[in-house]
Chain A
């Protein structure tokens, strides 16, 4: 077998030379697939100025091989150039599987590549497995606003490509004793496409960033009645070191900006805990939170659909409940700190 032939590949993601958590989550998925198929697992990194330590961290995170593709003109994600790099490597090495993140990068790059190499691509998967007997990749994903789960195969085309929803799997525990190979790929001039120019990046501001990466998300909805009352949500979020989300009703009323919107036409998130406050739990809102590990809700209406999916529900007036639970949490932290001065220091 040629090196690369039939391998499982994952696409690491970086911003300004730093690898993002999805890179390691993909390796955790890839490792279990590669072990079932009994083939090596490789991680591809496209970018510039990525340190040796960062490349090795991918081996510690489960990769047998790392393809490092670095060039000043690959510093920022430019779909056309990244796609040519991938197209070239796929056509040279013939991997069996290629996984990317269901991120704004993965969901742009992989569809472009899938056309170029003539193969199928399944979007936004939350589960992956290998079909016994055929060795085909089984790709499971929510569809129609999370109302159904579909399992999809790519029986006759290679590689089998999928984008994987962030936080759908824990990364492996880094193992510094793992051995692997780092292979630097010499970037050919013709892979670089200079049609699109990267001009710059402006941060989101507020707590909008991190909504997808946060362990806890506190969201507010129309029940807040006006924009100023979002301070209640922010206050609770601060106490819980959580990010702030919102329903579409809250965003449409201008109480908070669109990057905070959770749901079908906003973000899909899967935190450890989602707290919905003054949110009814419409099917479109639920579409964005169904993969959360725990859901808590505060709502006046005992029949609000959000209670159907809640692990912990409080039927009551948010204007009373939110300040109260915030105080109680603060008290809990203070007590803990008295017992153990190191508590909460991260």
Chain B
């Protein structure tokens, strides 16, 4: 079985700090890391491979530095990495991103399953997984929280929706996007790290695939960002500090008043 895992490199939101005075984001500390939600996709692929055998290709479109994220996945046990890096891809929205990724998958990879993250923590759209499925005209199951069974031709999954878990039977080839609940990602082993070091990551560009140029990058993207604002999130409401038993009664009293004023009880 050949599994393709598309992964994205994103700013490290864990290291983003808020300015305590202005309530705005201090960006300089943000470093680039692999989209944390993609770890669950990698882990799902590794578990399927362990159980049923196969080969895992990690595919990422992004700057040259994204090779570091791909190496991490190789260290976890993935077999091969491809990095799509080209000025022509810059400024892609989810339409152009899924076009680019699906063209590479269709052209150069025989695949049975594509497993993507639920969403990338920077753009936070979750659109690329279903987008790839649409380009390849194959089924998609999103928000997958459990693999129930697999018989070589069909995979049964549970997807987490607002109203509970939906069970679906999905034929291969298909796209799954997975949520955190699916598995706890493993840490790379020392052996994995050493192996990853020796593996070459193929860096490819526009010239390596039969792209339609007008579908690539900013030019190929139907959406345009026209304004960016940094909202102030500071509200600075009333704060009651409890030091004595009296304060405690007072706090309860004021809280109930707050609730009733706002029509919440």
Which residues from chain A sit less than 8 Å from chain B, CB to CB? 15, 76-77, 79-80, 83, 103-105, 107-116, 118-124, 138, 142-157, 193, 195-204, 209, 212-213, 215-216, 240, 258-259, 261, 264-266, 272-273, 283-284, 286-287, 290, 293-296, 302, 305, 307-317, 320-321, 324-325, 327-329, 332-333
25 contacts between A and B (CB under 8 A): A15-B163, A83-B134, A104-B162, A107-B142, A111-B98, A112-B134, A119-B95, A142-B124, A150-B227, A151-B228, A152-B226, A195-B170, A195-B171, A197-B168, A201-B163, A202-B167, A203-B163, A209-B163, A216-B264, A294-B262, A309-B235, A310-B237, A316-B241, A324-B252, A332-B260
Whole-angstrom CA separation of A299 from B258 in the bound complex: 18
- Say yes or no: B169 contacts A145, CB within 8 Å: no
Interface pair A311/B134, CB less than 8 Å apart: no
* B225→A152 contact, CB < 8 A: yes
Contact B230 A143 (CB under 8 A): no
The reply to whether A312 and B237 contact each other, CB–CB distance below 8 Å, is yes
Q: A199-B169, A215-B264, A310-B239 are in contact. Are A296 and B222 (CB under 8 A)?
A: no
Quick one: which of A15, A103, A107, A264 contacts B13, CB cutoff 8 A? A264
- Cβ of B264 and Cβ of A202 under 8 Å apart? no
Neighbour of B95 across the interface among A120, A216, A327, CB < 8 A: A120
4 new A-B contacts, CB < 8 A, other than A258-B180, A290-B233, are: A79-B140, A115-B135, A283-B18, A329-B259
Output the least CB separation between A236 and chain B (Å): 11
Chain B residues, CB < 8 A from A327: 252
Q: Which residue of B lies closest to A305 (CB)?
A: B18
* Chain B residue, CB-CB nearest to A202: B165
Q: Using CB atoms, name the residue of chain A closest to B13.
A: A145
**Number of B interface residues in the complex (CB < 8 A):** 91
Contacts of B181 in A (CB 8 A): 258-259
Complex Cα spacing A200 to B157, Å: 11
- List A contacts of B227 (CB < 8 A): 150-151
Pairwise interchain contact B233-A240, C-beta atoms closer than 8 A: no
Chain B proximity of A199: nearest CB distance (Å) = 4
Stretch of B60-68, B79-87, B243-251 on the interface side: B243-251
Q: Are B242's CB and A321's CB within 8 A?
A: yes
Q: Contacting A118 at CB < 8 Å: which of B161, B222, B230?
A: B222
- B212-235, CB < 8 A from A: 221-231, 233-235
List chain B residues, Cβ under 8 A from A216: 264
The residues of B that contact A196 with a CB separation of less than 8 Å are 139, 141, 168-171
Q: Main SS of the interface on chain A?
A: mixed
Q: Are A145 and B231 in contact (CB under 8 A)?
A: no
Asked whether A308 lies within 8 Å of B25 as measured between CB atoms, the reply is no
Is B240 in the interface zone, CB < 8 Å from A? yes
Q: With A108-B130, A149-B229 in contact, do A307 and B239 touch (Cβ < 8 Å)?
A: yes
Nearest chain A residue, comparing its CB with the CB of B166: A201
Which A-chain residue is minimally distant from B148 (CB atoms)?
A199
CB-CB under 8 A from A112, the residues of chain B are 130-131, 133-134, 140
Q: With A and B bound together, what is the CA distance between A76 and B169 in angstroms?
A: 13
Q: Is the CB of A311 within 8 A of B226?
A: no
